[in-house]
A and B are shown apart, each in its own frame.
Chain A
């Protein structure tokens, strides 16, 4: 069965520090997709990235970067030079690609506080 673990429940850092959010997943599929979403205080989840299991290249988008490591079943998310607007709950999620029932399962989220 698919499972996503975000061990960090809550993190606080001072503005401009770098912060890494951890995500570990479990799946029996060889084809799967990983996602990160951001939930600001307004409540609406915002899509950040989707990666498939065949693409292990790390990705950078502005201050955001993602480190996908199949060997450790991890898909970690780093924010560089954090800003107060980055304060939110961040969710990692998994979808099994070959499974007919490709429901997206979420981790419990990491609440990130960026202190001014």
Chain B
């Protein structure tokens, strides 16, 4: 069974641009969560999608948005990039039952210059 796949692996953008990250969950998993990982803050929860609906949301500004498609694939978008958005963005999937463990991808390393 293929794991969680995130593309691209690395991205370099400049301030003010926008970026879209992609995540393909494990087959059969209907929930996709996104996390931002930075050296100082650890893993911070962005949002979770389940069956194309946002189920949970963290404390991030509206510049961070996401969506989920009918095949459970998810995209995350960050508009008007700031230097502080430089981070490793991790996607995780699970079947969707409450309190299940998450399966993580390798992440997208975003650098904002």
Q: Which residues of A contact B (CB under 8 A)?
A: 33, 35, 37, 42-47, 50, 52, 91, 95, 97, 101-109
Contacts and interface: CB of A to CB of B under 8 A. Distances in A.
A109 B107 CA distance: 17
A105 B99 contact: no
Given A101-B55, A102-B98, A104-B33, A45 B104 contact: yes
A107 B42 CA distance: 7
21 contacts: A33-B99, A42-B106, A43-B88, A43-B107, A44-B3, A45-B90, A45-B92, A45-B102, A47-B103, A91-B43, A95-B99, A97-B99, A101-B56, A103-B33, A103-B58, A105-B45, A106-B43, A106-B44, A106-B45, A108-B43, A109-B42
Contact of B101 (A44, A50, A101, A107): A50
Contact of A47 (B42, B88, B102): B102
A30 B42 CA distance: 26
Contact of A43 (B33, B41, B106): B106
Question: Which secondary structure dominates where chain B touches chain A?
Answer: strand
Interface of B: 3, 33, 35, 41-45, 48, 55-56, 58, 88, 90, 92, 98-99, 101-107
A41 B56 CA distance: 29
A8 to B, nearest CB: 13
Contact of A103 (B3, B45, B103): B45
B98 A97 contact: yes
B107 A44 contact: yes
Contacts of B103: 47
Contacts of A37: 104
Contacts of B42: 91, 106-109
Given A44-B107, A108-B41, A103 B48 contact: yes
B111 to A, nearest CB: 15
B88 A35 contact: no
Pick the most buried of A42, A52, A105: most chain B CB atoms within 10 A of its CB: A105
Contacts of A47: 101-103
Contacts of B88: 43
Contact of A104 (B3, B41, B45): B45
